[in-house]
Structure 1
Amino acid sequence: MIKEITLIVATLYGGLAIILGAFGAHALKKIFTPEQIASFETGVKYQMYHAIVLLIIGTQLPLVNSIEVVMVWLFIIGTLLFSFSIYGLSISSAKGNKIKILGPITPLGGLLLVAGWVCLLIYFISYGKLI
């Protein structure tokens, strides 16, 4: 079941990154400051990067042990918290009513993404994929 979840989320994140990137480049460009555009684009980039990572993990790893499952959830939740909090902060800031509660969520999402990468490193080392 985790393999299916991984691949579904990967495709949803990838497709949404394209949609949100186009939305940011066209519709939001008119109301965003250059800093808000840059921030929004950062969210889109990280979302797409991790969509690709999830797609590769979902097709190349067996996803049968706990380190793999934890890694997948760290990437899924980390991307959600990181990228979508940036979108919320950017849009709410442009509308003049910044949702401040989202501010601490962005670094939490980033921390989960880093933890996902650490899990991937541990997986490679533990299962002889590096050495």
Structure 2
Amino acid sequence: MNDRQLVAAAAINLFIAVGAGAFGAHALKTMLSAPMLAIWQTAVTYQMVHALGLFAIALLLPRFPGHLLAWAGGLMLAGIVLFSGSLYALALSGVRVLGAITPLGGTAFLLAWALVAWRALSR
């Protein structure tokens, strides 16, 4: 991903996270159990943090050129879709098997941050 794509992905994900947070706090508050609402909030939090991570990667691309940060951005976006997406679906549906997807997103987050560190420390 290039810097413009990362900024767009970050902004779109921040938009979605803010909307999902408001939706959870208002509309879902009376529809979901407390544990499911907590799952929803976890999805919002991770989406928000990692969307900001996409912005950070976009800002770092000119300083640390190469493919590692582009890969990190792609992995971070995949992590948002898999981690937060599976938690949103789990909270809304109650289908517990969706929770099996969540660790794939978490792994994508970890790999993305590891690539950022690796690029920063490599020559």
TM over 0.5: yes
- Structure 2's unaligned 5+ residue stretches are none
Runs of 4+ with >3 A deviation: none
Superposition RMSD on alpha carbons, in Å? Answer: 1.4
| 1:39 counterpart residue number | 39
- Structure 1's unaligned 5+ residue stretches are none
| 1:11 counterpart residue number | 11
SS at match of 1:29: coil
| 2:100 counterpart residue number | 104
| 1:69 counterpart residue number | 70
| 2:118 counterpart residue number | 122
**Contact 1:43-1:83 at 8 Å conserved across structures:** yes
**Structure 2 length normalisation: TM-score?**
0.92
How far apart, CA to CA, are the structure 2 residues paired with 1:68 and 1:15?
23
SS at match of 2:29: helix
Q: Offset at 1:68?
A: 1.1
Q: Offset at 1:23?
A: 0.2
Number of positions where the alignment pairs a residue of Structure 1 with one of Structure 2: 122
Whichever of the two has the greater Rg, that structure is 1
| 1:78 counterpart residue number | 79
SS at match of 1:32: coil
How far apart, CA to CA, are the structure 1 residues paired with 2:96 and 2:114?
31
**Structure 1 length normalisation: TM-score?**
0.87
Q: Offset at 1:59?
A: 2.3
